[in-house]
Amino acid sequence: MAPIIEVKDYTWRYLHTTEPALKNINLQIEEGTFLGIIGPNGSGKTTLANSIDGLIPGQYHGIKKGVVNIRGKEVEDYAKGSLQRTIGMVFSDPEAQFTAMTVEDELVFGMENLGMTIPEIRERLAWVTELTGLAPLIDKPPYEISGGQKQRVALAAVLAMKPEILILDEPTSMLDPISRKQVFAVLSKMKQEQNSTIVVIEHSLENLVPLADRMALLYAGELLFEDETHHFFQRMDLLLEKDVLPPGALHFFHHLIQAGYYNGRIPLTAVDAAEKLAQIMKKSVEEAKS
């Protein structure tokens, strides 16, 4: 089966710049995959997201080489607006996406544009407000709620249209830790209940890593490597060299491996790390007694 997203030998350079923003990118994303894309600022992450979504070259001018296929069809070959029925995009600034005066109208807007019937819209609205916990805010203006609530509204407005592919570009960059967890809790439900193809660009990795099936590292416009999440974080030295700061638990176990106290797979969550650390300590105590 062909991947749902295929980026092949892809290079993009914005007009009036000397260096490409992306250089010879090759990436395949299978349907139902949750992919995390990380890398320092200026590495090309947003350019890649906009290329998959068709905003590049649709709304930006530049020089393109290679192809970006969605379900085997080049993004430029989709009729204007049709690709957005397949791909939903959530940006770091939720207010940039708001068009309505109430949360309900914001959630309904996209569904109306898709030509859904009133019964369909009501059913989908009930589903998405329960999924995102927005029912108490349904009558409020989206500009007057908290940052975390705004981001959930922006996410819900996209989810309500049930796109096959969901792309989130730094969705928690403006949020506090509690709001970040709320956003990723919604993504967790989408992964479990809808089997959506999800691509998340994120700097804060604590919530991303446990959900991601695969991870990719972009650096200076190049895709350095992409792999299954457990294998990805075995290359900790390279990640640290490229200014990626992994979650504390992963970083700690990296030091244990370097010191010779551990030689297994690096745990991806704090809970797993605590369990493995307890096993290491128990083994050390038993060895000390023998």
Mean pLDDT of 269-288: 82
- Say what the pLDDT of residue 126 is: 95
- pLDDT tens, 109-123? 999 988 899 999 999
C-alpha distances out from residue 257 to 61, 254, 276, Å? 47, 5, 13
String of DSSP letters for 70-88: ETTEEGGGSPTTTGGGTEE
pLDDT tens-digit series, residues 32-83? 999 999 999 999 999 999 999 999 998 899 999 999 999 999 999 998 878 8
pTM listed for this prediction: 0.90
In this structure, which amino acid lies at residue 78? Y
Task: Look at residue 9 and tell me if it is in a domain.
Answer: yes
Q: What is the pLDDT of residue 278?
A: 86
1 inside domain? yes
Give helix 103-113 / helix 118-132 axis angle, nearest 10°.
130
pLDDT of residue 74: 96
Q: Is residue 149 part of a domain?
A: no
Q: What is the DSSP letter of 263?
A: -
Instruction: Say whether both 234 and 277 belong to one domain.
Output: no
H-helix or E-strand spanning residue 272: helix 270-289
Residue 137 contacts by C-beta under 8 Å, 6 or more apart in sequence? Answer: 103, 145, 149, 153
The domain that holds 217 is classified in CATH as 3.40.50.300
Q: Is the pLDDT of residue 286 over 80?
A: no
DSSP state for residue 4 in the 8-state scheme: S
- For residue 225, is pLDDT > 80? yes
Q: Is residue 160 part of a domain?
A: no
The confidence score (pLDDT) of residue 141 equals 93
Return the C-alpha torsion angle 67, 8, 192, 126, nearest 10.
Answer: -10
165-214 residue pLDDT tens? 999 999 888 788 888 888 899 899 888 888 889 999 998 898 999 999 99
Strand stretches in the chain, DSSP E: 5-14, 22-29, 34-38, 62-70, 73-74, 87-90, 165-169, 197-201, 214-219, 222-228
DSSP-based three-state secondary structure for 165:
strand
Is 166 a member of any domain? no
Q: Which of 212, 232, 199 is nearest to 4 (CA)?
A: 199
In a domain, 33, yes or no: yes
Whether residues 209 and 289 fall in one domain: no
Residues 206 and 274 reside in one and the same domain: no
| Beta carbons of 54 and 5 less than 8 angstroms apart | no
Q: What is residue 166's predicted lDDT score, i.e. its pLDDT?
A: 95
Query: Is 157:134 a contact under the CB 8 Å cutoff?
Result: no
CA 261 – CA 165 distance, rounded (Å): 42
Contact assessment for residue 26 and residue 68, using Cβ atoms and an 8 Å cutoff: no
Residue pair 27/215 in contact by the 8 Å Cβ criterion: no
Please state the rounded mean pLDDT for residues 147-164: 91
For residue 57, whether the previous peptide bond is cis, meaning omega lies within 30 degrees of 0, is: yes
Question: What is the C-alpha to C-alpha distance for residues 36 and 29, in angstroms, rounded to an integer?
Answer: 11
151 in a structural domain: no
Instruction: State residue 251's pLDDT score.
Output: 85
* Same domain, yes or no: 214 and 272: no
Quickly count: other Cβ atoms within 10 Å of residue 83's Cβ. 21
Q: Are residues 1 and 78 in the same domain?
A: yes
- Number of domains observed in the structure of the chain: 2
| Inside any domain, residue 153 | no
Structure confidence at residue 1 as a pLDDT band (50, 70, 90): low
Q: Residue 61 has which token pair?
A: 């001018």
Cα angle 111, 128, 151 (rounded to 5 degrees) comes to 90
* Cα torsion angle, 79, 81, 83, 86, sign: negative
Average per-residue pLDDT for the chain: 90
Query: Looking at the structure, do residues 4 and 66 belong to the same domain, yes or no?
Result: yes
Over the stretch 253-278, which tens digit does the pLDDT of each residue have? 888 888 888 888 888 888 888 888 88
Phi first, then psi: what are they for 35, rounded to 5°? -110, 130
Q: What's the domain range around 287?
A: 247-290
Does residue 267 share a domain with residue 216? no
